[in-house]
């Protein structure tokens, strides 16, 4: 079973996340998508995030009719530590050695991947699947200064030919705070949850 690990804050999860995951499955890049909401993402440690329980609940609602997707609450088991991807991947692999894990990231993350915790080990140990993001055309020349040549080439080749979503969680939060509900960006169950819990006010 080829499982793509899709981590993020998912604050909130939106139609772009779901469309991307479906495209990865339909494109034959993976057999299953494992969504892992981050408990304490290192790059956002100083920013306010919606409580983990709410983000996990919204993600469950967003994926209710997507049988090839699962949610892991693994990172909530370690509330005292930052949610480093390397540690999460190690824990998953140790617990489920029968799974062929690969890491699903955006092109914006690929540009910064060399800054991640134990980045080289991460890129060497697990295959990377990179989806395009608007404004981040990744080239070998851009990655070459930060990686050994063969690994840089491998990372460039990890970029998949997939549709690009115009929506981001940041943009959606801005819309919601301004009193607008971008219905085309959110599944109905998530919209209802946001309204009932009065999130992003």
> Does position 113 have pLDDT exceeding 60, yes or no?
yes
Q: Which residues pair with 71 in a beta bridge?
A: 35
CATH number of the domain that 56 lies in? 3.40.50.620
> Does position 44 have pLDDT exceeding 70, yes or no?
no
- Residue pair 104/6 in contact (Cβ under 8 Å)? The answer is yes
* Structural domain harbouring 140: 2-166
Residue 194 belongs to some domain of the structure: no
Residue 198 belongs to some domain of the structure: no
Q: How far is CA 25 from CA 10, 34, 44, 49, 104, in A?
A: 19, 12, 29, 29, 12
Q: Report d(CA 143, CA 156) in Å as an integer.
A: 8
> How many CB atoms lie under 10 A from the CB of residue 2?
15
Q: What percent of the chain has pLDDT over 90?
A: 82
pLDDT for 102 equals 98
How do residues 61-103 score in pLDDT, each as one tens digit? 999 999 999 999 999 998 888 889 999 999 999 999 999 999 9
Residue 193 belongs to some domain of the structure: no
Q: How many domains does the chain have?
A: 1
How do residues 115-146 score in pLDDT, each as one tens digit? 999 999 999 999 999 999 888 889 999 999 99
- Averaged pLDDT score across all residues of the chain: 93
Question: What is the enclosing helix (H) or strand (E) of 2?
Answer: strand 2-8
Cis ω before 28 (30° cut-off from 0)? no
Higher per-residue pLDDT: 57 or 80: 57
């Amino acid at each position: 079973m080829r499982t793509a690990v899709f981590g993020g804050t998912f604050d909130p999860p939106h139609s772009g996340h779901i469309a991307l995951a479906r495209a990865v499955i339909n494109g034959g890049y993976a057999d299953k998508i494992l969504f892992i909401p981050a408990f304490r993402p290192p790059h956002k440690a100083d920013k306010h995030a919606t409580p983990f329980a709410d983000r996990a609940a919204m993600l469950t609602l967003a994926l209710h009719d997507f049988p090839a997707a699962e949610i892991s609450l693994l990172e909530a088991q370690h509330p005292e530590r930052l949610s480093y991807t390397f540690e999460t991947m190690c824990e998953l692999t140790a617990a489920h050695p029968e799974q062929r894990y690969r890491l699903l990231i955006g092109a914006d993350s690929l540009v910064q991947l060399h800054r991640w915790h134990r980045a080289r080990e991460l890129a060497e140990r697990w295959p990377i699947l990179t989806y395009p993001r608007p404004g981040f055309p990744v080239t070998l020349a851009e990655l070459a200064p930060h990686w050994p040549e063969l690994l840089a080439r491998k990372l460039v080749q990890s970029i998949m030919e997939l549709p690009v979503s115009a929506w981001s969680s940041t943009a959606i939060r801005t819309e919601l705070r301004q009193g607008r509900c971008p219905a085309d960006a959110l599944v109905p169950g998530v919209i209802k949850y946001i309204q009932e819990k009065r999130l992003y006010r």
